[in-house]
């Protein structure tokens, strides 16, 4: 199959943008059929691209990420010093900590172009984990011990909880979200929901749309950009004053210098990350220079990797048993 950089980037962008504001329904979940409609290609071409992306591991997985949790659980973000060379050892140690969702590791370099000298350099780890407020100190101690056990000092830079959800879910919605949390979109079936929680199919369809519309779930694509040939990619991190970065994301997306050269946006408190692509390094450099002229803290991210911990599904499920039981 022709490996067209622009076509592939459009396809990857379409996968990573679910759900979109103009189609807040569960049926819009990324699939070869939906993606063919979205970027206006034939169904046959879409199926070929879909199979190629996963067979060649351009994408490790596409997950349904919960934005609400049972009980008093919150999602926390921890930024700490983490040398990239220690990723493999620490990531294995984290398997013993079921409350950890994701570990991102990356090297941050502040410079206006890839070809220019580095003004600042940091090797960082972003740890995404779940905790109740009253157990946060204990969870932080567990993480510190994991660092120490593999011979690393624990040097946290910052940590905080964050959520964009501003509506309280019903027990039924929370039960459904907990049931489908962290499932892969690649082979997701509503049939298993019916079997697991005994909802009617009509209720499932209506409830799935409601949890998407209310922002109770989002998609999480775990890319493996280093596996993609013929495409130059650079990840960029932009630090902004406001905790909510949506307005910045919308502005960046609207800019001609950026909109044709990005694949993926990731929103974190005070931080907007995006993946830029190009067929030449000059294309990416022009986009980075454009951003650097408009934002003070722009870093190029090198050697980025992500580890997802599937044990977190069992962690929230055990807490959910008594807290989201439906009254029949």
Percentage of the chain exceeding pLDDT 70: 92
SS3 label, residue 211: helix
Per residue in 221-272, pLDDT (tens digit) is 998 888 888 888 888 888 888 877 888 888 888 898 898 888 887 777 788 8
Per residue in 2-49, pLDDT (tens digit) is 458 889 989 999 999 899 888 899 989 999 999 999 999 999 999 999
Residue 250 belongs to a domain:
yes
Residue 296 belongs to a domain:
yes
Residue 317 belongs to a domain:
no
Residue 300: CB atoms within 10 A of its CB come to 24
How much is the pLDDT for 327? Answer: 39
- Please give the tally of structural domains in the chain: 1
Residue 257 belongs to a domain:
yes
- Which residue would you say has higher pLDDT here, 211 or 303? 211
Residue 242 belongs to a domain:
yes
Say if residue 182's pLDDT is above 50: yes
Query: Taking a C-beta distance cutoff of 8 angstroms, is the pair 127, 103 a contact?
Result: yes
Say if residue 219's pLDDT is above 80: yes
Q: Mean pLDDT across the stretch 278-291?
A: 87
Kindly write down the DSSP assignment for every residue of 33-55, as one continuous string: HHHHHHHT--HHHHHHHHHHHHH
Domain CATH code at residue 239? 3.30.70.260
How much is the pLDDT for 323? Answer: 58
DSSP 8-class letter at 260 = T
Residue 156 belongs to a domain:
no
Kindly write down the DSSP assignment for every residue of 240-253, as one continuous string: -SSS--HHHHHHHH
How much is the pLDDT for 2? Answer: 40
Say if residue 183's pLDDT is above 60: yes
Nearest to residue 212, comparing CAs of 18, 4, 39, 9? 18
Residue 259 belongs to a domain:
yes
Residue 100 belongs to a domain:
no
Range of the structural domain that residue 287 is part of: 231-305
pLDDT band at 132 (very low <50, low <70, confident <90, very high): very high
Say if residue 328's pLDDT is above 50: no
How much is the pLDDT for 227? Answer: 87
Query: Taking a C-beta distance cutoff of 8 angstroms, is the pair 229, 56 a contact?
Result: no
Per residue in 68-112, pLDDT (tens digit) is 999 889 999 999 999 888 888 999 999 999 999 999 887 766 655
Least confident of 27-41, 126-140, 194-208, 281-295: 194-208
SS3 label, residue 302: strand
Helices of type H across 59-156: 87-93, 136-149
């Amino acid at each position: 199959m022709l490996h067209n950089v622009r076509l592939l980037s459009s396809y990857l962008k379409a996968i990573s943008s679910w759900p979109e504001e103009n189609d807040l329904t569960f049926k819009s979940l990324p699939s070869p059929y939906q993606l063919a409609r979205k970027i206006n290609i034939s169904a046959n071409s879409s199926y070929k691209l879909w199979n190629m992306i996963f067979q060649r591991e351009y994408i490790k997985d596409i997950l349904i990420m919960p934005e609400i949790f049972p009980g008093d659980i919150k999602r926390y973000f921890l930024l700490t010093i983490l040398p990239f060379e220690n990723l493999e050892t620490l990531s294995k140690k984290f398997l013993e900590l079921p409350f950890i969702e994701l570990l991102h590791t990356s090297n941050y370099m502040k410079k206006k172009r890839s070809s220019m000298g580095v003004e600042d350099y940091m090797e960082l780890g972003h740890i995404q984990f779940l905790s109740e407020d009253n157990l946060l100190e204990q969870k932080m101690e567990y993480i510190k011990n994991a660092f120490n056990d593999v011979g690393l000092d624990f040097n946290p830079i910052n940590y905080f909880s964050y959520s964009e959800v501003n509506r309280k879910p019903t027990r039924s919605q929370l039960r459904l979200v907990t049931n489908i949390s962290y499932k892969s979109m690649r082979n997701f079936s509503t049939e298993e929901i019916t079997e697991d929680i005994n909802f009617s199919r009509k209720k499932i369809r209506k409830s799935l749309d409601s949890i998407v519309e209310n922002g109770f779930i989002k998609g999480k694509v775990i890319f493996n950009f280093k596996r993609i040939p013929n495409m130059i990619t650079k990840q960029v991190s932009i630090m902004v004053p406001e905790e909510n970065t949506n307005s910045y994301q919308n502005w960046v997306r609207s800019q001609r210098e950026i909109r044709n050269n990005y694949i993926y946006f990731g929103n974190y408190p005070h931080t907007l990350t995006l993946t830029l692509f190009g067929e030449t390094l000059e294309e990416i450099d022009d986009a980075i220079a454009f951003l650097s002229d408009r934002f003070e803290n722009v870093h190029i991210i090198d050697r980025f990797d992500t580890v997802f911990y599937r044990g977190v599904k069992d962690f929230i499920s055990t807490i959910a048993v008594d807290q989201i039981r439906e009254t029949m």
